[in-house]
Amino acid sequence: MFNASKPVTNPDLVSAIQRAREDSTPETWADMVRETTRARFITPVDFSSSPVSGETEKKTAPSFSLHMLEDPASRQQFYLAFTDWEELAKWRSAQGQRVLILTFDDYARLVLDGKIAAGGFIINPYSGNVVFGKAMIETVRREKAGLTNRGAEKMVMKKGTTVFLGEPDEYPEALIRSLSSFLETQGGVEAAYLQSMEKDGVSSYLVAVDFQGDQKALFDGISGVAAGLLSDMALNLTSCDTEFWRDTAEGLEPFYQKNRVGC
């Protein structure tokens, strides 16, 4: 956390968000994610005092709570992340609003390690409205820590691993619509499939993509689009050009198809 008295502006991130909105490509979404990890955000906070446990005299200890927004569809709570004071004023322009200055790492600790259940955080909810969901935050944190070269979404199968695939119990309509809109902008993508996957007792979504081009850039773009739409499910990505997918995909219908040629 940083000193809130210092000016906060994030022109590089604001520009990256605008580029990703106007030209939705894997490269622009990856650039937006990179700038997010470098940014400093304003988040509104309320301070209060609470009695100190075990004290015979009346003593209080300061405490604070961060404001959150609820997604009406999922009922999940999301922390607020404003890039500058003008964006904060779109939420509330009251004088004397107290704030903290947080980084991506701070939000990651709040969402992934905190005691309050949160779906993620939202950057500029009244303009850019970029949602970083829990799965996306975990992926980016792992990448920053050097725990993976690609991120948690790329699926690596080991020999002897048992994986169960099937149709999701509840079809993620919002996720499918967003992914389909994004994939329409990607000239190298022919088709994409979604399945529910259970591996080692853990359920997640699996998206297989038939494409030509830069896999890392495409997968980064898909992950960025899916952020905030996954609830508590993780997202795994794989290419249709893998032995695992070729052995299991017969008869499946794609949720997105550029033409009649699928995997």
For the cut 50, the answer to whether the pLDDT of residue 148 exceeds it is no
Domain that holds residue 240: 163-257
Q: Strand pairing partners for 234? A: 204
Q: What is the average pLDDT value for the chain, to the nearest integer?
A: 80
Tens digits of per-residue pLDDT, 103-130?
Answer: 999 999 999 888 888 889 999 999 888 8
Lowest-confidence range among 53-62, 177-186, 189-198? Answer: 53-62
Q: Are residues 26 and 108 in the same domain?
A: yes
For the cut 90, the answer to whether the pLDDT of residue 61 exceeds it is no
Across 83-94, average pLDDT: 89
Considering the domain boundaries, does residue 123 fall inside one?
yes
CATH number of the domain to which 249 belongs: 3.30.300
Single residue among 115, 144, 173 that ends a domain in this structure = 144
- Report pLDDT for 55: 55
Is the four-CA dihedral 125, 127, 132, 133 of positive or negative sign?
positive
Higher-confidence position of 74 and 119: 119
For the cut 70, the answer to whether the pLDDT of residue 45 exceeds it is yes
Higher-confidence position of 231 and 157: 231
Single residue among 86, 114, 144 that ends a domain in this structure = 144
CA angle 65, 145, 201 (to 5 degrees): 80
Q: Are residues 127 and 168 in the same domain?
A: no
Question: Are 62 and 47 within 8 A, CB to CB?
Answer: yes
Q: Are residues 111 and 191 in the same domain?
A: no
Alpha carbon distances (Å) from 70 to 48, 73, 111, 186, 223: 22, 9, 14, 32, 22
pTM above 0.85, yes or no: no
Number of domains into which the chain is organized: 2
CA distance 82 to 128: 10
Considering the domain boundaries, does residue 155 fall inside one?
no
Q: Are residues 96 and 23 in the same domain?
A: yes
